[in-house]
Amino acid sequence: MGVNIKMLAERLQLSISTVSRALRDSYEISETTKNRVRDMALELNYQANPYASSLRKHRSKTVAVVIPEITNNFFSLAINGIEYVAQEKNYHVLIYLTHENVQKEIGFANHLQSGRVDGVLMSLSAETNNYDHLINLKNKGVPIVLFDRICEAIESSIITTDDFESGFAATEHLIESGCERIAYLDLSRYLSISNKRMQGYLEALKKHNIPADEGLIIRFTNNNAANEEIITQMLSGPNRPDGIFASVEKLAISCYNVCERLQIKIPEQLKIIGFSNMEFSSLLNPSLSTITQPAYEIGKQAALQLFRYLEKKSMADVHERIILKSTLIPRGSTGF
């Protein structure tokens, strides 16, 4: 079907090996024949079969991105950063969505032992609390870089934001805005980010002598409708919180929806701050106070770190732990 190296060789009256070397600009080939080959390749629009190359070279020029979801500004931005680097390096990007399902994550990880990719960029699902699939993958020699939702079970580079400090700052911001009963909302008890942010939350409460209340730490699922039901319960019961710290974007949005339905006024009756990467948090009604993560940069740094592995022939594992700062932006939802 397509034009291959053999056709080029025949047309040029050269051997296959010479053509191959010419295309890779080998020093063993004279400048004149190199040009002949290049011209002919251009004329026939020759594209080397990547599968034959990969099979022979044991390199795929491909990386996999395994993430929980894509309809999420954080991950879209991260992919954007990853893809930017990949294009620079002439690499290809495969994406796999786990939809927060650990079984899918395991399936992907197992499959990726096949040699399909040279490396993996990954952010764990909310269900993941066992890391054998990652360990196996790494043991097969596939470099892994974790970003955002990480784990400590494997030795690898790790790119995150300063989750503890951000959690602390967000909570303190609510306290300084006058809140006394602050709820902490998150997705999973397994996620690294959830725990770090919660640590920050607890630490801030402690600093300001506010007793921590187990009932105010609430876990949600991946189902928006169910989540809003839980929030409705929380906000319509007695002794409801006067401040909410949502550790993921979608939970803050759900709070807005519920407050609108329950006629609860933000920020007068309830103050809200949330992690978010929406570019128009400022246009919400009221504008949403946020912790904004450097999502694009996180993706970019993760990819750069992966390529550092790939380009290093010595698998001398230099495991970096890169922490990029988030920024707190006070807005209307906390009374600013």
Partner DNA sequence: TTTTTTTTCGGAAACGTTTGCGGTAGATTT
Partner DNA sequence: AAATCTACCGCAAACGTTTCCGAAAAAAAA
List interacting residues with a second copy (CB under 8 A).
1-2, 45, 47-52, 54-55, 58, 60, 62, 69-73, 76-77, 79-80, 83, 87, 92-97, 104, 110-111, 113-116, 136, 140-141, 253, 256-257, 260, 278-280, 283-287
Residue 170's nearest CA partner among 248, 265, 231, 75 is 248
d(CA 336, CA 267): 9
Stretch that binds DNA, among 27-35, 175-183, 247-255, 280-288 (CB under 7 A): 27-35
* Residue 139 lies near DNA (rule: CB under 7 A): no
R_g of the chain, CA atoms, integer Å: 25
Interaction between residue 48 and DNA (CB under 7 A): yes
Q: How far apart are CA 253 and CA 133, in angstroms?
A: 33
DSSP class per residue in 107-119: HHHHHGGGSS-SE
Give the residue with the Cβ less far from DNA, 44 or 95: 44
Instruction: Count CB atoms within 10 A of the CB of residue 313.
Output: 6
Window of 3-11, 80-88, 227-235, 321-329 that interacts with DNA by CB under 7 A: 3-11
Q: Say if residues 109 and 128 touch (Cβ distance below 8 Å).
A: no
Q: Residue 187 in contact with residue 248, Cβ under 8 Å?
A: yes
CB-CB neighbours of 155 under 10 Å: 11
Residue 252: partners with Cβ closer than 8 Å, 6 or more residues away: 244, 246, 272, 273, 274, 275, 276, 288
Q: What minimum distance in Å lies between the beta carbon of 137 and DNA? A: 17
Chosen from a second copy, DNA, none, partner binding at 73 (C-beta under 5 to 8 Å by type): a second copy
Q: Please give the angle made by the CA atoms of 245, 250 and 252, to the nearest 5 degrees.
A: 35
18 binds, among a second copy, DNA, none (CB under 5 to 8 A by kind): DNA
One of 10, 11, 24, 276 touching DNA (CB under 7 A): 24
Question: 218-239 burial, b for 16+ CB within 10 Å, e for fewer?
Answer: bebebeeeebbebbbebbeeee
Residue 270 CB, nearest approach to DNA (Å): 58
Alpha-helix residue ranges (DSSP H) falling in 5-155:
5-12, 16-23, 31-43, 50-57, 73-88, 102-111, 132-139
42 is a contact residue toward DNA (CB under 7 A): no
Verify binding: residue 199, DNA, rule CB under 7 A: no
What number of residues does the chain have? 336
State the minimum distance, in angstroms, from the CB of residue 3 to a second copy.
9
CA distance 290 to 42: 52
- Residue 60 in the binding site for DNA (CB under 7 A): no
Which residue number, 16 or 70, has a Cβ lying nearer to DNA? Answer: 16
String marking each residue 66-95 x if it binds DNA according to CB under 7 A: ------------------------------
Partner whose binding site includes residue 77, from DNA, a second copy, none (CB under 5 to 8 Å by kind): a second copy
Of 6-14, 84-92, 260-268, 286-294, the window that binds DNA (rule: CB under 7 A) is: 6-14
Whole-angstrom distance, CA of residue 172 vs CA of residue 209: 11
**Which one of DNA, a second copy, none is in contact with 33 (Cβ closer than 5 to 8 A by kind)?**
DNA
Q: Which of the choices DNA, a second copy, none does residue 226 contact, using the CB cut-off of 5 to 8 A by kind?
A: none
CB of 113 to DNA, least distance (A): 11
**Least distance between a second copy and beta carbon 291 (Å):** 18
Q: Which residues bind DNA (CB under 7 A)?
A: 1-2, 4-6, 13-18, 20-21, 23-24, 27-33, 46, 48-49, 52-53, 55-58
